[in-house]
Amino acid sequence: MPVGGWVIRQWQTVQSLRDRPYLRKVLGNTGWLFSDRIARMVLGVLVASLTARYLGPERFGQFAYAAAFVGLFAPVAMLGLDGIVVRNLVARPEARNELLGTTFWLKAAGSLVVGSAAVGAGWLMRPHDGVFLWLVAVTALGLLVQAFDTIDFWFQAEVASWRTVVARSGAFLAMSAAKLGLIALHAPLVAFAWANTIETAIAGLGMVVAYRWYGGRMSAWTPRWAVVRDLLRDSWPLILSSVAVVVYMRIDQVMLGSMATQREVGTYAAAVRLAEAWYFVPMAICSSVFPSIVAARGVSEDLYYSRLQRLYGLMAFAAYAVALPTTFLAGPVIHWFYGDAYRGAAPMLAVLIWAGLFTNLGVARSSFLMAENWGRVHLGTVIAGAVINVILNLWWIPRYGGMGAVWASCVAYWFAAHGSCYCYPPLVRTGNMLTKAMLWPRWR
């Protein structure tokens, strides 16, 4: 009977999980990340929409423009170390203190230099725009405390990212409440930038407490120059690729701010916030699955590519599940969240939501490139995507405004994640796997 068959299948699944402790650990870790991210997505979208309503398209555009501007510098501050450090911690857990200590001080130094560069560049661009300069300075200050994200790398390697959930969620909840208070008090625009920076600082402090609570001691971290050389040798292509990723994901708002009105930036930013609200899905999945992919590579090629194909299929399925309903409901969604002042964001959202398909597949493909240590290949694909985005923005923004930026982003995202695979022979197999995932998405 159908019901009986379903019961048997569920029982077999439970038994399979009991016999596979690592899989249980991965699923549990993913569950914690998803619970945290879903709560953050729901509350974050609501708070952001209320903030956008309060600020209006013009001031919201100023806020988004400054954030996008600093965002262009942020990848350099992070030094492309995230996946590399996790990979090395999985392979060499006994070197934890050297890896974490070196990574922390590298990220701290990088953040200081890059944050100062962002402020200086902002002053050169708009020396008489006091609001913009304040927004850039406060946002750049938040880069300094992100060095404490180093702690999360250890928890990722241990498939225990849930240990940082409390720290980050607590900071997020506190600052969400603070932003509602700022709205009620009719606070100035810069106050919202301060709220974001303070949230990052609280989250960093919380991760320090979590690391200590579970037996770690930052005082035991021992930076080594040899480790610096090893990390930077592997990471420099990823630094450049991260810059390229941010360029093709954020240059649209910066170029809109320079080539169109701040109101157009605010309208476009409203669509972007909703389109990207669910981007945590591929990141949460891949951060939990990445250690198992690295392990599978050392077992057999068949197991390795089988796990990758399942990951690609899941990423495509998740993208379609979001994009299809959003396409038809974009108008009501924009009206409900942002009001009539942002109605121009509806057609932007209906198209931009499809960029998520290529974002999902791109994040999943990055797991493959990281496992293969093909940082230079990743660099080439994202640079190509960034160049395409800049060229199309220069062409389409003067003609179509924010909608031109939407189409430019979609084309750039597609090429960086999928189209570029067919321009480099070693990636053709991966391109075919991604095509299969798009044509036959599967959630299991």
The token pair at 45 is 């979208």
Is 214 inside any structural domain?
A: yes
Which range has the worst mean pLDDT, 78-92, 175-189, 217-231, 306-320?
78-92
Those residues whose C-beta lies under 8 Å from the C-beta of residue 424, and which sit 6 or more positions away, are 377, 380, 381
Is 11 inside any structural domain?
A: no
Is 168 inside any structural domain?
A: yes
The angle that helices 225-259 and 21-71 make with each other, rounded to 10 degrees, is 50
pTM of this prediction exceeds 0.85: no
Closest to 371 (Cα-Cα) out of 7, 114, 84: 84
Is 388 inside any structural domain?
A: yes
Q: Over the stretch 342-390, which tens digit does the pLDDT of each residue have?
A: 999 999 999 999 999 999 999 899 888 888 878 778 888 888 888 999 9
Is 4 inside any structural domain?
A: no
Largest CA distance in the chain: 75
In the predicted model, is pLDDT for residue 50 greater than 80? yes
Could you give the number of structural domains in the chain?
A: 1
Q: Over the stretch 392-433, which tens digit does the pLDDT of each residue have?
A: 999 999 999 999 999 999 999 999 999 999 999 999 999 999
Mean pLDDT for 320-335 is 93
Is 7 inside any structural domain?
A: no
- Range of 377's domain? 22-439
> Kindly report the CA angle at 225 between 223 and 230, in degrees rounded to 5?
105
Higher-pLDDT residue of 346 and 257 is: 346
pLDDT range class, residue 8, cuts 50, 70, 90: very low
Closest to 287 (Cα-Cα) out of 100, 143, 435, 149: 149
Percent pLDDT > 70 in the chain is 89
Which range has the worst mean pLDDT, 116-130, 160-174, 244-258, 405-419?
160-174
Is 57 inside any structural domain?
A: yes
Is 10 inside any structural domain?
A: no
Q: Is the dihedral of CA 9, 14, 19, 23 positive or negative?
A: positive
In the predicted model, is pLDDT for residue 21 greater than 60? no
The angle that helices 355-371 and 375-400 make with each other, rounded to 10 degrees, is 160
pLDDT at position 14: 43
In the predicted model, is pLDDT for residue 26 greater than 60? no
